[in-house]
Chain A
């Protein structure tokens, strides 16, 4: 603090005179921080927080697309859904789809990472290629599966018929059980590279000398994996798993392209069933369907948050 008397004494207060209020404010780290956060938070508030709250409101009304004059019916939409056989199937499918595919993606993705972590010629090129299922728009790669699963043209059917294993073409997407399995295979296919690449990133942190020391001590590959490698990649593996469950849970495009929830509404997940209901202009119910995801997502998010570093 500069005593007030100095000013009266005529000594100019350099920082105060030269720096207007705004500049002094900007010198404070917290002001600048919030200023930096503001534009992004504004966008997220308008297009994320507000719609989320608005969605809760819509789900409590009998709103129809294109009609005004909605009234609040409280939890009627939610209640009606509990008795809706399609919705029940939707919930079951989502769990089958979310938890049934993740173990395969995890094990295969981990193997992929361990393979790609080795030194070999063109390894960079292989990495880039094997990432493709994850990178290419899912809607587009699903089209490839749409043809591979086609009742008439499927090359799998043609080959198996040729080998005499089956007599008629396989109806990959035509029966509920076949369709769910086909969807899961396509989902596993798409998810493996994500696990592969995140675990591969984790593997970079495995100390080579420790691995060599363990090898010299006579540890076999399996032992070295559990003692040296696994502790390092444990966290990233867990995080990838939680991410994958969330994404699979909330999936849309793959199912929309391959089955649209069919046959006979037997393969819906929350996203596709909500979209279909929106098509019937039943806005309130559609909003309720997708909001039913929220409790599951919230639990997964809280678990995930515990493993993520938010401070430094």
Chain B
């Protein structure tokens, strides 16, 4: 009796809702995958079950590589994402360190200011920023995005790293300083290595935020072959005829892979990192 009761509550509390979430949250990806592998003849044939594959084709994927600029878009996205991540991470480590470990006048004010910057959405800034980008002669170049992505990457990464640096005991650094190490040496040799997981998460988040960005990429780097993957897929691959769905979904699958891989390895870091130090205990 007890056993069947426990089993029933296990079903209600775990398996049933888990199934619901799996179906609801993953169905669009399943659909993308199925369509991307489905021959065009099957796509419009209503007599076959649309959720299953009768036969598999890689035509849509090969079409992407041979007949579109998809490869170029991928390269663009990598350049921009890696560039802005490196830039943002380096300055954010400094900001996070200063705000997390130094006591100075104006410190908590600057912390609040950085946090407010994080709340400024690209939709609020993109109009004047497009003018700044074009006045600087950066329009449609990699620098247009490498320099503007940090506006949302720096606040995020700094905030996250500030929380991380705070969790590292001050005693360690003090001990090093007593041993004759300067403050900078202590930072470099003691604190930074300990903050490695935090820096890793911050880097991954920057990478995915950069990879996923859409509006700035659309407005500042959205013409010709300089598009990023999300922009290129949306603006180039949607065509007037009905047979573009296969390659569109294939592009969606391929465009999601880099971030999905980055996260799946670091999902635990993500969970702890996102809220590190940000909330009142």
Check B111 for interface membership: any CB of A closer than 8 A: yes
- Chain A residue nearest to B163 (CB atoms) is A309
B108 touches A310 (CB 8 A): yes
Binary A-proximity of B76-110 (CB < 8 A = 1, otherwise 0): 00000000000100111011011110111101101
Whole-angstrom CA separation of A132 from B25 in the bound complex: 8
Decide: B26 and A132 in contact? CB cutoff 8 A. yes
- Among B151, B234, B238, B245, contact of A153 (Cβ-Cβ < 8 Å): B245
A residues near B233, Cβ cutoff 8 Å: 139-140, 143
A44 contacts B by Cβ under 8 Å: yes
| Cross-interface CB contact of A33 among B98, B117, B129, B256, cutoff 8 Å | B98
A197 interface residue (CB < 8 Å to B): yes
Give A29 to B231 CA distance when docked, in angstroms.
45
Q: Is A308 an interface residue (CB 8 A)?
A: yes
Within 8 A of A (CB), among B29-50: 29, 31-32, 35, 43-44, 46, 50
CB-contacts of B254-276 with A (<8 A): 255-256, 259-260, 263-264, 267-268, 270-272, 274-275
Give chain A interface residues in 76-123, CB to chain B under 8 Å. Answer: 108, 111-112, 114-115, 118, 120
Given contacts A40-B94, A143-B252, contact A30 B104 (CB under 8 A): yes
Q: Are A36 and B97 in contact (CB under 8 A)?
A: yes
CB distance from B205 to the nearest CB of A (A): 10
Contacting A198 at CB < 8 Å: which of B25, B90, B125, B275?
B275
Are the CB atoms of A52 and B128 closer together than 8 Å?
yes
In the complex, the number of residue pairs spanning A and B with C-beta atoms less than 8 Å apart equals: 299
Q: Is B68 an interface residue (CB 8 A)?
A: no
A152 to B45, CA, bound (A): 11
**Residues on B with beta carbons closer than 8 Å to the beta carbon of A275:** 126, 215, 218-219
A279 to chain B, nearest CB (A): 10
Residues on B facing A (Cβ under 8 Å):
13-14, 17-18, 21-22, 24-26, 28-29, 31-32, 35, 43-44, 46, 50-51, 87, 90-92, 94-95, 97-100, 102-105, 107-108, 110-112, 115-117, 119-132, 147-148, 150-151, 154-155, 158, 166, 183-184, 208, 211-212, 214-215, 218-219, 229-231, 233-234, 238, 242, 245, 248-249, 251-252, 255-256, 259-260, 263-264, 267-268, 270-272, 274-275, 277-281
6 residue pairs, one from A and one from B, having the closest CB atoms: A250-B121, A271-B123, A55-B128, A30-B104, A139-B230, A36-B98
Residues of A in contact with B (beta carbons under 8 Å apart): 26-27, 29-30, 32-34, 36-37, 39-41, 43-44, 46-48, 50-52, 54-55, 58, 108, 111-112, 114-115, 118, 120, 124, 126-133, 135-141, 143-148, 152-153, 155, 158, 189, 192-193, 197-198, 200-202, 204, 221, 235-236, 239, 246-247, 249-253, 256-257, 270-271, 274-275, 278, 283, 286-287, 290-291, 293-294, 297, 300-301, 304-305, 307-312
